[in-house]
Structure 1
Amino acid sequence: MLLLVLGKGKTGSLVAEVARKRGHGVRALDINENQHASALTAPNLAGVDVIIDFTTPDAAVENIRAVLALGCRIVVGTTGWYAHLPELKAIAERRSGGLLYGTNFSIGVQKLFRLTAELACIEGYKFSIRETHHTSKLDAPSGTAITLKQIIQSVQPGIEVRIDSQRVGDANGEHIVTAKSEHDVIELRHDAHSRRSFAIGAVRAAEWLCSKSGVWEFREIFDKL
């Protein structure tokens, strides 16, 4: 496949590296080379199988809109843009484009999501989430932490779930789900030692999305990879 990676930051650069090691052709653009999705034209995307976005929330919306309008396919690891999801889904349907998005492309975190859903089934516990990321991460709380909260509240509607967000140095990402009662404490923890697991998941997601049309969240399809 030929992949176009949007974003040359730490994660975007690692995605490009992983894609090359998996035998794919790779092009990459930083935000300055693609201001307001200006580089996402039909001639520039000719021959590109899937676009992978690790940019910023505002840039991601413009990128997704441009890609889907051309009937192309995009994997989005950027978070913080989901208020625009209904509009973008409609474009994907009209133009037969493909969109695969997720708050976290780590397979380990996907397992954390499922374990959290199981933990949330117990009653009589108070739930909280603590997440730690690097100081350059723009959104707080993280998309992963918000997803964990939504999972708990989908099992126990109306329950209060506090999120504590910390930004420390170059932390790759830690999420801890705590369930506390009068008698005991249960914790689920995922600590990323590097960004490579996110990059591998994103590339595998692009491999899955190739030649498909529709809109999916990564949680829906990760066990099909």
Structure 2
Amino acid sequence: MRVLVLGHGKTGKLVADVAAERGHGVHVLDAKENKDAAALTPPFVAGFDVVIDFTAPEAVVQNMRACLATGAKMVIGTTGWYDKLADMRGLAERRSASLLYGTNYSVGVQVMMQVAAQMAKSLKDAGYAFTIEETHHVTKLDSPSGTALSLAEVVEEAAGVAIVPIEAKRVGDAAGTHLLIATSEADRLVLQHDSFSRRGFAEGAVRAAEWLVKQKSGSYDFREVFSKL
């Protein structure tokens, strides 16, 4: 499989390493080489089986517009752009492209989402209030994290509440911690996921790319397909 990795930050580098370890050919473009998506010409993109984006919110939409317009298959690990999701899904459909997106490519986080939904559903009418706490490295651009927002969405739907408050912290080089806290007058229940490194995200993204290249064109949410990888 020929993989184009967009973004040469800490996670992007790790994605490239994992893809190479799994026997794929890898080419990496950093921000300087791809300013305003200028490098993503149709002939260039056509040289790859799949594109994996771990860039930044201000760059990812331009990258998607350029790649999806060619009918490419894309895995998006960047967050902070979901106000454009409907537009990008529409573009993928019009151009027979493939778009796989997710706020977190860790399989452990996806299992946490499932447990959180069951937890919220079980405590729905038991007098509990839900809150979320998340901690990431100081260079993370979006706050709250996309994962925390997804977790809140899951809990809000399962518990039937309007808003789950999120406290976001940015500390050092923290890889990522998410806590779902349910508090009543009698006790407190905490569901926690700790990332020890970014490798879980990178492995999930590469496995998602391997899955995507075998699928027909369309848009896919990682939450709905991770168990098929």
Quickly name the TM-score band, shorter chain normalised.
over 0.9
1:101-147 Cα shifts (integer Å, max 9, x gaps): 00000000000100100011112100000000000000110000000
What's 1:96 paired with? Answer: 96
Which of 211, 216, 219 is matched with 1:215 structurally?
219
Letter in 2 for 1:12: G
CA contact 2:46–2:72 (8 Å) conserved in 1: no
> Could you tell me how far apart the structure 2 residues matched to 1:159 and 1:184 are?
22
> Could you tell me how far apart the structure 2 residues matched to 1:119 and 1:31 are?
41
CA contact 1:2–1:48 (8 Å) conserved in 2: yes
What's 1:143 paired with? Answer: 146
> Could you tell me how far apart the structure 2 residues matched to 1:32 and 1:200 are?
25
Give the share of equivalent positions with the same residue, in percent: 56
> Could you tell me how far apart the structure 1 residues matched to 2:92 and 2:162 are?
34
Identify unmatched segments of 5+ residues in structure 2: none
Number of positions where the alignment pairs a residue of Structure 1 with one of Structure 2:
225
> Could you tell me how far apart the structure 2 residues matched to 1:99 and 1:130 are?
29
1:69-104 Cα shifts (integer Å, max 9, x gaps): 000010000001011111111111111000000000
Shift of 1:155: 1.4
2:175 corresponds to 1:175:
no
Using the size of structure 1 for normalisation, the TM-score is: 0.98
Which moves more between the two structures, 131-140 or 32-41? 32-41
What's 2:64 paired with? Answer: 64
CA contact 1:135–1:169 (8 Å) conserved in 2: yes
2:194 corresponds to 1:201:
no
* Secondary structure at the counterpart of residue 164 of structure 1: strand
Letter in 2 for 1:39: A
* Secondary structure at the counterpart of residue 88 of structure 1: helix
> Could you tell me how far apart the structure 1 residues matched to 2:175 and 2:21 are?
22
Shift of 1:46: 2.5
Identify unmatched segments of 5+ residues in structure 1: none
Structural RMSD (CA): 0.9
Shift of 1:39: 0.9
What's 2:167 paired with? Answer: 164
Question: Following superposition, which runs of at least 4 residues in structure 1 exceed 4 angstroms of deviation?
Answer: none
> Could you tell me how far apart the structure 2 residues matched to 1:94 and 1:160 are?
35
Which moves more between the two structures, 72-81 or 206-215? 206-215
